[in-house]
Copies of this chain bind each other. A is one copy, B any other.
């Protein structure tokens, strides 16, 4: 389903390294029709859930994160790489194939009574999204949904977030 949205996503071979096929959401974003339709689909998933904050993951997640926040009448919260946020932050580290990475959020960005939509453009292994979800739950807030434009179904992202209302607009099932 959503074949028109899927068709607007470009596959770029060997990015960021040889052997990886990168699904490039920028070709979707630059297309006004596909951009609007994707925003419509994501909004349709999220409406009527009482969402008060949209947490967008750096940095492509800020784009549909913002259209969702506007349409839901919610605030937009930026989940960022370390050192980018100027105020007091909380952080969560997670394992990569080699080494670890960390995601940060302003400690006052979300409060315990917030109902949060977690959003990113793409879910692969789910490490970043799961760490972001952990940060939000540490604050005591409720995660009402985790939504993504692109899901790589040959990687275990969905399983890491199975306790949430998990949505993806389009799926790619092979590398």
Binding site for B on A (CB under 8 A): 10, 12, 15-16, 22, 24, 26-27, 29-32, 35-36, 39, 52-53, 56, 58-60, 62-67, 69-70, 73-78, 83, 85-87, 106, 109-110
Query: A-B pairs with the 3 shortest C-beta distances?
Result: A59-B59, A12-B86, A15-B86
B65 touches A78 (CB 8 A): no
A sample of 16 cross-chain residue pairs with beta-carbon separation below 8 angstroms, ordered by A number, consists of A12-B87, A24-B87, A26-B77, A26-B109, A27-B87, A32-B75, A35-B70, A35-B75, A36-B70, A59-B59, A60-B78, A62-B66, A63-B63, A63-B65, A64-B66, A67-B70
| Number of copies of this protein chain within its complex | 2
Residue A87 contacts which of B10, B29, B60, B69 (CB distance < 8 angstroms)? B10
Cβ distance A148 to chain B, nearest Cβ, rounded Å: 16
Other contacts beyond A30-B77, A30-B109, A63-B76: 8, CB < 8 A? A12-B87, A26-B78, A30-B75, A35-B70, A35-B75, A36-B70, A36-B73, A62-B66
Dominant secondary structure at the A interface: mixed
In the complex, chain B residues whose CB is within 8 Å of the CB of A39: 70
In the complex, chain B residues whose CB is within 8 Å of the CB of A106: 26, 30
In the complex, chain B residues whose CB is within 8 Å of the CB of A67: 66-67, 70
In the complex, chain B residues whose CB is within 8 Å of the CB of A76: 29-30, 35, 63
Cβ distance A107 to chain B, nearest Cβ, rounded Å: 12
A36 CA to B10 CA in the complex, in Å?
A: 32
